[in-house]
C-alpha cells in the first residue's frame, strides 16, 4: 500500500452525516415506537423551549424530555451496530462505504481488531467530551488522526479498491 491517502475532516464528516441518516435515524424511529412514544416527549420539548426562550434558568430542569433507559438503549445500539459494521465490512460503516473510506490499523493498514473497535468507540466519547477537540485534531494532523484514532491505533484512509 504505497499510495495511502488519509481521509480528512470534511469527508469523514460527510460519512458521519450519512451514517446518521442510514443508521441513527432508523434506530431512533424504531426505539421511539418500541418505547410507545416515551423515549422523547415532544410536549415537554416544546414546553422547555418556551421556558428557555423566556430566559427561565430552570427550563431544562422542569420537565425531562427523554427517558434515560431508552436513550441508553439508543446510544448502546448505535455503538454496537457501528462496531459490527467496522468488523463485518472491513472498517466501513454505510456512510464510509458510500464515500469510499475505511478504518484500518495505523501501522499495518490491516483490518482493525475487536479491541481497536471498542477502544475507538470509547475514544468517540472522549473526543465528544473534550469539546470536540478530539475530532478537530483531524484537521491539523498530517495523518488525519483524531483522538479516537490515536487511542485505538487506527487511521481512516481512502479505500482505493471499493
Sequential pLDDT tens for the chain (162 residues): 568 999 999 999 999 999 999 999 999 999 989 988 777 766 666 666 676 676 666 655 555 556 778 888 898 999 899 988 888 888 899 999 999 999 999 999 999 999 999 999 999 989 988 889 999 999 999 999 999 999 999 999 999 865
Q: Tell me the three state secondary structure of residue 134.
A: helix
Judge whether 122 lies within some domain: yes
Which residues 6+ apart lie within 8 Å of 103 measured at CB? 86, 91, 92, 96, 112, 120, 154, 155, 156
Q: What secondary structure, in 3-state letters, does 50-118 show?
A: HHHHCCCCCHHHHCCCECHHHHHHHHHHHHHHHHHHHHHCCCCCHHHHHCCEEEEECCCCCCCCHHHHH
* pLDDT, position 69: 83
- Tell me whether residue 99 is in a domain: yes
Conformational region of residue 37, where left means phi above 0, alpha means psi within -120 to 50, and beta covers everything else: left
Q: What is the pLDDT of residue 58?
A: 62
Which region, left, alpha or beta, applies to residue 113 given φ > 0 means left and ψ of -120 to 50 means alpha? beta
C-alpha–C-alpha distance, residues 16 and 148, integer Å: 14
Cβ neighbours for 23, distance < 8 A, ≥ 6 positions apart: 78, 81, 82, 93, 94, 95
Q: Output the pLDDT for position 45.
A: 63
Decide if 58 is inside a domain: no
Q: For residues 22 and 129, what is the distance between their CA atoms, to the nearest angstrom?
A: 24
Residue 114 lies in a domain: yes
pLDDT at 85: 87
Residue 111 within a domain: yes
- Residue 53 located in a structural domain: no
Domain range for 21 is 9-33+67-158
Residue 115 forms part of a structural domain: yes
For the chain, what is the domain count? 1
Amino acid at each position: 500500500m504505497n499510495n495511502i491517502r488519509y481521509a480528512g475532516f470534511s469527508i469523514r464528516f460527510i460519512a458521519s452525516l450519512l451514517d446518521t441518516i442510514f443508521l441513527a435515524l432508523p434506530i431512533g424511529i424504531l426505539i421511539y415506537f418500541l418505547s410507545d412514544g416515551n423515549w422523547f416527549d415532544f410536549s415537554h420539548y416544546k414546553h422547555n423551549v418556551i421556558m428557555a426562550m423566556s430566559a427561565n434558568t430552570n427550563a431544562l430542569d422542569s420537565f425531562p424530555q427523554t427517558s434515560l433507559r431508552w436513550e441508553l438503549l439508543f446510544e448502546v445500539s448505535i455503538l454496537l451496530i457501528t462496531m459490527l459494521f467496522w468488523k463485518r465490512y472491513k472498517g466501513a460503516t454505510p456512510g464510509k462505504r458510500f464515500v469510499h473510506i475505511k478504518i484500518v490499523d495505523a501501522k499495518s493498514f490491516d483490518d482493525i481488531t475487536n479491541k481497536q473497535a471498542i477502544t475507538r468507540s470509547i475514544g468517540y466519547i472522549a473526543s465528544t467530551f473534550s469539546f470536540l477537540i478530539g475530532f478537530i485534531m483531524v484537521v491539523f494532523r498530517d495523518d488525519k488522526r483524531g483522538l479516537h484514532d490515536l487511542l485505538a491505533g487506527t487511521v481512516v484512509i481512502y479505500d482505493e479498491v471499493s
